[in-house]
Amino acid sequence: MSLARTEIPFGAQNLIIETGKLAKQANAAVTVTYGGTVVLVTACMSRKPKAGIDFFPLMVEHQEKTYSAGRIPGGFFKREGRPSQREVLTSRLIDRPIRPLFPEGFYNEVQVVSTVLSSDGENDPDIIAIIGASAALTISDIPFEGPLGAIRVCLIDDKFVINPTYTQRENCTLEIEVVGLKDGIVMIEGEGKEVPESKVVEALEFAFKELQAVREMQNEFRKKVGKEKAKVEIILPNNELKNKIRELTFGKLNEIYKIAKKEDREKVQNELLDQITKDMTVYADHKINDREVTAGDIKMIFDQIEYEVVRHLIFNQHKRADGRGLKDIRPLSCETNILPRTHGCALFTRGQTQSLSVVTLGTKRDEEMIENLEGLSYNNFMLHYNFPSFSVGETKPMRSPGRREIGHGALALKALRAVMPTKDEFPYTVRLVSEILESNGSSSMATVCAGSLSLMAAGVPVKAAVAGISIGLVTDKDKYCLLTDIMGLEDHFGDMDYKIAGTRKGVTAIQLDLKIKGTPLEVLEKGIEQAKEARMIILDTMQAAIAAPLNDISAFAPRIISTHVPIDKIGEVIGPGGKTIKKIIELTGVESIDIEDDGKVLIASMSKESAEKAIAYVNGMVEEPEVGKIYNAKVSKVTNFGAFCEFLPGRTGLVHVSELSKTYVKDVTSVVKVGDEFKVKLVEIDQMKRMNLSKKQAEVE
C-alpha cells in the first residue's frame, strides 16, 4: 500500500491518519495522531471461515505500551503483562461499535489490534483507537460497512468541549463518548453528575453532528488508498430449509413464548429443538454452501425462527414472552444488611435478576494504585462485579474476571461515582462487590441499584440514591418498539441494549450497544425518557427499603478520626523510618496512622477510645508548650534534685525537688517514682529552652 496521509482540525488539535509505512503485511494498518498521542491500528482477516461456529469471530486487542510515555513498567517483571482494566475497557469500546457493521453470515476471523506508540499524557488514546479501527477496516479488503466517526464530548462550564484533555475532564459535569454513522448513532458510553435528560440529549445531538467530519475524512482516505473488498464466503441458511423448519416450529414457538417462567419455557424449547434434530435424514435434500446440513445449522435456523416469533409477538400483540406490556417493570424487591458481619450489604431483585452487593470500608492503605500512561494515581472507590455460571443455571469453570465482568463493573462504578462523598467528607476506602446470583436481564443495572442500597446501609454519606434500567428496541422497517426492563431473550433477539442510570435529579451513567447499523436520535431521546419513568418507580421501591444513609458505620468497620498537623511538623510525627508512628500505634492500639502531604492525619481503629487516644498523642506532639498551663505528666526519670516528666508527647521538663510538694522533701524517691502520673504546671521556659515544671503549684490551682 502506498504512503498516504490525511488531516483535519478536530477540537483543539488536528487529527492525522497515515498509512503505508508500518505493519505492511496486515490487511490494513494506519497510525492516528492527535497532539502527541499516536496509535497504530491493524486489521487482519483469516482466509477461510472458521468452521463449526454460529457467531462472528471478531477479536479486538488494545495495548498501551509504557514506552509511549517514556516510562518503564513497575513491578518485578519489567515488561507489560496481562491487560490492565483500562486496556480491557478500551478494547470493548472499539469492539462494540464495529461489530454490527460486518455482513451477516460472515464467519472469517477478524482481528483488530490497537497499539499506543506515543502518549503525551494529555490526550486519551481510546477515541483515537476507535477512529483508527474504523479507518483500517475501511481501507482494507475486509468486508466492513463503515466508516464510523467517534468523538468524546464534555460539558464544562455549560459548554461542550470536543476531545478534552485529562486535565479538562476533571472539571466536567458530563462526559460522553459517541460513535456514529451517517444516519444514526451506533454506540454511547458516558457518565454525568446528575445531569438532566435534556442536557444529555443536547450532548448527543452535538456529538453526532461533530463526528461526521471524521467519517467524511475516512471516506476521502478510502478513495485514495482503499483496497477492493475481498470476495468472502457468506454462510446463510438455505431458504427452503429455513421454510421447512419454520413450518415445523413457528406455531409451536408462538405458544412456547406465552410461557412466562424462563425455566419452563426453555425446557419446552429444548424439547422442540431435540425433536427437529433427532432425525437428520429428513434434511438430506438440502445443502448449505454445498455441504451437508448439520445439527448446528438446524440450531442456528431454530434461533432465527425464535427471533421472528419474539418480534412478531411484540409488534403484533404488544406482548412480551413473560406477558408484560412494553413499559412494564418486573416485580421488585429490596433488602438491606441481611448478612451479620459485613460492613453493609443489600439484596436487589428485579424479576429473575438478582444482585447481592456488599460494601467493605478500609483505610487509606487499602486504596487502589493505578499505573496508566499519564502516571500513577490512587483510587479510594472500587466496584467489582462477579457473574458466576450458576446465575443462569449453567456449569462452567470458575475463572478470573473476563471482559464482560470488567465492563459491567466499570459501568456500575460510573453510575455510583457521582454521588460518592469526597475524601474530606468520608476518609475511607470503599470497596463494593456485586455478586450476581440470578441473571435474566440487565445485571449491571441491578448492580447499580443494589450498590446504592448497600452504600447507604454501610453508612456511606452518598448524596442520593441511584437506580438504573435497560431499555430495549425492536425494529421492523419504519416501525419500532421500545421495551422497558428487557430480559435475556429480548437482549438476545432485540436490536438494542440502552442502559441509563441516575438519581431523581438526573443521569449519572449511560451506555448504548446496538446489533443494527445505527439508530436515529429521536429513538434514543424517547429511550431516555422511558428510562426516566422506570427509574422513578425503582427509586420509590428502594426508598421504601432505606430512605437515607445510616447515621453510623458498622461496629465491625474501622473508625477513622482525623486531625491536622503543621506541614513542618510532619517529619517529627513520622519519626526516622516511621519510628514515631510505630510507637504511637503500639502505645494506643490503633490499626494505622496515615499522614498526607498537607498535614492531614488519619487514624484508623476498631476502638473509638484508642483512636481518640492516638489523636491526643499526635496533637500533643505538635502542641507548643505554654507557660502557666496545666498538663498531665508522667515521670520518666528520678534524680536526687528532682523528677523529669513527659508532659507532652516527646516533651520533657524538670520538676525540681522544691516544686514537688508544699512540705520539705528530703528524698525525691519517697515522693515520686518512675511511671507515676500527676498534674504539673509549666512555670518557665529558660533561655536554653529547658522547661521547668511544678507539681505543687498545679495542686494548688
In 278-375, alpha helices (H):
295-317
Would you say 134 and 98 are in contact if contact means Cβ atoms under 8 Å apart? yes
Residue 151 lies in a domain: yes
Residues 462-472, mean pLDDT to the nearest whole number: 97
Residue 551 lies in a domain: no
Q: Which of 404, 415, 463, 409 is nearest to 432 (CA)?
A: 409
CATH code of the domain in which 671 resides: 2.40.50.140
Q: Distance between CA 215 and CA 149 in Å, rounded?
A: 5
Q: Distance between CA 46 and CA 109 in Å, rounded?
A: 5
Structure confidence at residue 236 (pLDDT): 80
Residues 504 and 596 in one domain: no
pLDDT band at 531, cuts 50/70/90?
A: very high
Structure confidence at residue 345 (pLDDT): 97
Residues 291 and 346 in one domain: no
Q: Distance between CA 50 and CA 110 in Å, rounded?
A: 10
Residue 322 lies in a domain: no
Q: Distance between CA 453 and CA 443 in Å, rounded?
A: 15
Q: Distance between CA 420 and CA 534 in Å, rounded?
A: 23
Residue 197 lies in a domain: yes
Mean pLDDT of the chain: 91
Q: Is the pLDDT of residue 385 over 70?
A: yes
Residue 399 lies in a domain: yes
Cell of 280: 437428520
Listing from the earlier edge strand, what are the strands of the sheet with 13-19? Answer: 4-10, 13-19, 28-34, 37-49, 108-118, 58-64
Estimate to the nearest angstrom the gap between the alpha carbon of 4 and the chain centroid: 38
Residues 566 and 646 in one domain: no
Residues 414 and 391 in one domain: yes
Residues 246 and 295 in one domain: yes
588-596 contacts at long range (C-beta below 8 A, 24 or more positions apart) = 588/613, 588/614, 588/617, 589/613, 590/614, 591/363, 591/558, 592/363, 592/364, 592/365, 593/618, 594/363, 594/364, 594/365, 595/565, 595/570, 596/364
pLDDT band at 327, cuts 50/70/90?
A: very high
CATH code of the domain in which 153 resides: 3.30.230.70
Structure confidence at residue 89 (pLDDT): 96
Structure confidence at residue 1 (pLDDT): 62
Of 68-82, 318-332, 437-451, highest mean pLDDT = 437-451
Residue 618 three-state SS: helix
Q: State which of 522, 545, 568 marks the end of a domain.
A: 545
State pLDDT tens for residues 599-633. Answer: 898 999 988 888 888 888 888 888 888 898 999 99
Structure confidence at residue 191 (pLDDT): 97
Q: State which of 269, 285, 317 marks the end of a domain.
A: 317
Residues 52-69, mean pLDDT to the nearest whole number: 91
Percent pLDDT > 70 in the chain is 100
Residues 405 and 524 in one domain: yes
Residues 650-668, mean pLDDT to the nearest whole number: 88
Residue 176 three-state SS: strand
CATH code of the domain in which 607 resides: 3.30.1370.10
Segment among 207-221, 279-293, 652-666 with least mean pLDDT: 279-293
Residue 553 lies in a domain: no
b/e map 644-671, b = 16+ CB within 10 Å? bbbbbbebbbbbbbebbeeeebeebeeb
Residues 395 and 447 in one domain: yes
Residue 642 three-state SS: strand
Structure confidence at residue 689 (pLDDT): 85
Cell of 23: 505493519
State pLDDT tens for residues 138-150. Answer: 999 999 998 999 9
Cell of 209: 453532528
Residue 325 lies in a domain: no
CATH code of the domain in which 254 resides: 1.10.10
Q: State which of 545, 567, 598 marks the end of a domain.
A: 545
Q: Distance between CA 435 and CA 414 in Å, rounded?
A: 18
Residues 179-187, mean pLDDT to the nearest whole number: 95
Residue 157 three-state SS: coil
Residues 22 and 84 in one domain: yes
Structure confidence at residue 263 (pLDDT): 83
pTM of the model: 0.88
Residue 552 lies in a domain: no
Structure confidence at residue 476 (pLDDT): 81
Q: Which residue has the higher pLDDT, 569 or 25?
A: 25
453: left (phi over 0), alpha (psi -120 to 50) or beta: alpha
Residues 313 and 336 in one domain: no
Structure confidence at residue 317 (pLDDT): 80
Residues 72-98, mean pLDDT to the nearest whole number: 90
Asked if the peptide bond before residue 147 counts as cis, ω within 30 degrees of 0, the response is: yes
Q: Which residue has the higher pLDDT, 525 or 310?
A: 525
Provide CB contacts within 8 A for 663, sequence distance 6+.
Answer: none
Q: Is the pLDDT of residue 384 over 90?
A: yes
Number of structural domains found in the chain: 5
Residues 83 and 188 in one domain: yes
Identify the domain containing residue 574 by its residue range. Answer: 559-622
Segment among 3-17, 245-259, 584-598 with least mean pLDDT: 245-259
Q: Is the pLDDT of residue 350 over 70?
A: yes
End-to-end CA distance of the chain: 95
Residues 546-559, mean pLDDT to the nearest whole number: 93
Residues 167 and 259 in one domain: no
Residues 176 and 215 in one domain: yes
Q: Is the pLDDT of residue 218 over 70?
A: yes
